[in-house]
Chains A and B, each alone.
Chain A
Amino acid sequence: MILERNSQVNDQRKKIHPHKFTLWVALGSIIMMFAGLTSAYIVKRNMGGWTGFPFPRAFWYSSAVILVSSLTVQMSLRAFRDREMQKYRNLITVTAVLGLLFVFLQWLGFRSIWNSGITLHGSGAGQFLYVIAGLHAVHVLAGVVALIVMFIRAYSARIRSYDSTPVELMSTYWHFVDLLWLYLFIFFMSIN
């Protein structure tokens, strides 16, 4: 039945894969969440009692790391399409490790802000940063979990898949969290 539907999608209508489309809509939804938070930040900034925070150097490193991880996830997609499975497995492993490294660097950044005396008590940029960048890190971690699932699948002998859709979904999501961080990075750097 599903196969028939797939053939219906792929051959009759020549449309985007429904799962890809679903992902794009979901990304729109995540964008709205962060748009809500960052516009709350802007509204709040124009009120009294606003305090800034020292911009940590760790965020520069984490930005570089997540940019590189976007590159590796793209390369893993190409490797999968070329059926170079060993290379594919290596590249998604590297991507997952870079994702974890990113979260670690974010944590270092949070710690340096925290040590400068900006805790959760207050209502300034720092508190917003903890919440917003924290939520972003949760989204990255969700991506890492998805990568681990794909990694296990790639090693499982029983499932032999030639469909690149899951890998494409993964790379789209990964590029998205990358871009989302770059937006937040520029946002926090310029409006602090």
Chain B
Amino acid sequence: MSNEATLHGHPEVTTHDVHLDEHGVHHHKETFITKYVFSQDHKMIAKQFLITGMVWAILGALMSVLFRLQLGYPDTTFPWLEDILGSKWAKGGHIQPEFYYALVTMHGTVLVFFVLTGGLSGTFANFLIPLQVGARDMASPFLNMLSYWFFFTASIVMLSSLFVESGPASGGWTTYVPLSALADASDGSRAGMDLWISSMALFVVSSLLGGLNYISTILNLRTKGMSMTRLPLTIWAILFTAILGVLSFPVLLSGLILLLFDRHAGTSFYLDKIFIASTQQALPNEGGSAILYQHLFWFLGHPEVYIIILPAMGLVSEVMAVNSRKPIFGYMAMVGSLFAICVLAFLVWAHHMFVTGLNPLLGSVFVLLTLLIAIPSAIKVFNWLTTLWRGNLRFTPGMLFAIGFVSMFISGGLTGIFLGNSTLDIQLHDTYFVIAHFHIVMGVSGMLGMFAGIYHWFPKMYGRYLNNTMAYIHFWVTFVGAYLIFWPMHYEGLAGMPRRYLTYSNWISFNQFADLNKFISTVAMVVFAVQLLFVFNFFYSIFKGRRVVSQNPWGSTTLEWTAPIRPGHGNWPGEIPEVHRWAYDYAKDGREFIPQTEPLGSNESAH
């Protein structure tokens, strides 16, 4: 079972069948600890990632509700806030500026890294890769377990930063220098920032261990007959996600190591000629470059948004084909566009830095490369719509979330074209327009894609269904609510309303938005409440949900539905199924679907 067994594989074992009786079925001893805590089963690790991600999602969303309370009702006092949070953070029932900055910083960090990277990739890469490529487990189950526990430790460190006296990191989730490098510049740049860096370093290690495993499992452990072009699109998407992560996270780590030296060792990689008002002191640091940090940060930061969206795209493609009862439209174009996005992801990072004094010529190169992303994105959208077109649609909750994803991705993608232009960016940079853009195209889309995946594969994970009524309420309120929250922000942004401000009441020009902000905040609270309904549905259904009685409840072609309803460690009793066709044989030869394991008929040619 252990890693050693793989390392010291016995060379005398030459055929599949010899060891079937001993190893096909799993009767190794499992204690509570090895089954639920330090598990090396990819399915359990996936569930651990999912539930940890859900805890983070609730916390992160709660933070947004708190700061929306401030933004929507800047003049109202909420004495209960002081009761809960104490007088340091919410004096007199008002959210204090330091706390507000801490909230927006942690909201971003938590959602981007812990929910939509750890929670999303961690869950579905772990769960789906071995099941869909036809492997017993990951290439290295041990590294996989380590990956989760590094994630868990990173979570604990980040969580603990909320409770240190000077508060958590509060310079924004990008932790730009010099603010993040100087403890005297802001309370959040004291212990909270060190914990932030430590937590992120652990998170990077977790991502790398996971990513290495995902890549080598997909490329090396596919079952017989599973050629790359027979893989479901989920696996392709996860493969490109993992490649992005493995190549970009180390660069973030480099940047953070230099930041750590600037903070504690007196180096000046990022610091140059600084006078701190709070201590009335000029710093000795000279020669550093704050822009250098931004380059290093965004070299990860931009691929990071594709690390979030690519798995969601993969999940949506699969859920959509299954529930349209049609092959995915343009399979190779889907793979090609994923590849194109993966390459372009590394070539556009400076579009986050148009207003840093970037050379305009260089800027125009980045504009061009950025706008090029519209092409693969449009290919994907076209293919999703043509998959739906004249399909035999089944509006399962997973399918609704998948369609919602496409809607959000289009809406958010269009504003990306605005922001990708360096000239327009002068007006739009750091306004609510940017907030609206990335929340719709990355945040909400990512979440909807994740929900599509959870609703679709929950029966495989737990052998039970989620409650449909709660699911439909969850979908419609979330979907409509997300548009109601973020659509109006475009108008605020176009009017020049800057992001990250505690209050706008000092600007007469933004007073017109007071009611709009109140509206947005109210909707945000409703949407948050509905997420709690989903959480209830999730845990209730694990124990009390309707049981899955058939092996393949969605009528899907892929391999995971050939495994038992509640697969043990090793996934398939007996031999791993052999694959004879691609993953999208729906509505073919008068049949609703043909599983990948079915041999080709005499009238068929290989796909």
Contacts and interface: CB of A to CB of B under 8 A. Distances in A.
B287 interface: yes
B387 to A, nearest CB: 32
B269 A127 contact: yes
Contact of B219 (A21, A29, A121, A123): A21
B49 to A, nearest CB: 19
Contacts of B136: 1-2, 4-5
Interface in B172-229: 208, 211-213, 215-217, 219-224
B422 to A, nearest CB: 20
B587 interface: no
Given A8-B16, A123-B286, A18 B9 contact: no
A25 B5 CA distance: 22
A30 B253 CA distance: 11
B248 to A, nearest CB: 7
A22 B286 CA distance: 42
B19 A4 contact: yes
A122 B284 CA distance: 9
A1 B26 contact: yes
Nearest to A1: B23
A23 to B, nearest CB: 8
A166 interface: yes
Interface string B237-255: 0000000001111110111
B266 A2 contact: no
B254 A161 contact: no
A32 B245 CA distance: 11
Contacts of A21: 139, 215-216, 219-220
Interface in B1-30: 1, 4-11, 13-16, 19-20, 23-24, 26
A32 B204 CA distance: 13
Nearest to A37: B254
A159 B4 CA distance: 10
Give the contact-size bracket for chain A: 35 or more
B289 interface: yes
Given A1-B23, A44-B269, A127-B261, A36 B254 contact: yes
Interface residues of B, number: 69
A28 B211 CA distance: 12
B267 interface: yes
A40 interface: yes
Given A22-B216, A49-B286, A123 B268 contact: yes
A19 interface: yes
B23 A2 contact: yes
B207 to A, nearest CB: 10
B371 to A, nearest CB: 25
Contact of B266 (A6, A19, A120): A120
B354 interface: no
Contact of A44 (B8, B271, B289): B289
Given A5-B221, A49-B287, A121-B267, A40 B246 contact: no
A152 interface: no
Given A4-B23, A7-B14, A123-B269, A48 B287 contact: yes
A18 B216 contact: yes
Interface stretch (A9-17, A66-74, A97-105, A108-116): A9-17
B470 interface: no
Contacts of B284: 121
B287 A50 contact: yes
Nearest to B293: A40
B299 interface: yes
A3 B292 CA distance: 49
A167 B23 CA distance: 27
B92 interface: no
A138 B381 CA distance: 46
Interface of B: 1, 4-11, 13-16, 19-20, 23-24, 26, 135-137, 139-140, 143, 208, 211-213, 215-217, 219-224, 246-251, 253-255, 257-258, 261, 265-269, 271-272, 284-289, 292, 295-296, 299, 569-570, 576
Q: Ordered nearest first, which 9 A-B pairs have the shortest CB separation?
A: A49-B287, A33-B250, A6-B9, A36-B251, A123-B268, A18-B139, A123-B287, A36-B254, A1-B23
Interface of A: 1-13, 15-19, 21-22, 25-26, 28-30, 32-37, 40, 43-44, 47-50, 119-124, 127-128, 131, 135, 159, 161-163, 165-166
18 contacts: A1-B1, A1-B137, A2-B136, A3-B13, A5-B6, A7-B15, A11-B15, A13-B224, A21-B215, A29-B249, A36-B254, A43-B292, A44-B269, A121-B267, A131-B267, A135-B257, A159-B8, A163-B11
